Amino acid sequence: MRPCLGCGRLISRKSYCHMCDPMNARRIEKRGSGWQQTKFREAVLKAAGNKCERCGATGVPLQAHHLVPVAQRPQAHDPMEGAALCEPCHRLA
């Protein structure tokens, strides 16, 4: 066991713990802060009116689904390109 170079916590093997690892910080920075995703989710769920757009279930937790995968179009955070789905429907999609 040795101290983390960033915070001093005792760790094994590496020079940095998971929280202080500079490579981890770069990965998080590269992905962004998530504000686009949060706004996308809020807008999609508001437009759906608390109802699954596939099966019509109400009173269940809904998830925002990208109709166009973000990997194919990184700027796909337009609420018009999203659907509010319950968990079972989101798994099927």
Run means of pLDDT, 10 residues per run, the chain, 93 residues: 82 78 60 66 89 91 86 72 91 89
Q: For residue 9, what pLDDT is reported?
A: 82
Looking at residue 33, its pLDDT comes to: 53
Query: Which residues, in sequence order, are bridge partners of residue 63?
Result: 85
Report yes or no: 9 and 2 within 8 Å, Cβ to Cβ. Answer: no
Q: pTM above 0.75?
A: no
* CA 45/CA 59 separation, integer angstroms: 13
* Closest among 40, 27, 28, 26 to 74, alpha carbons compared: 40
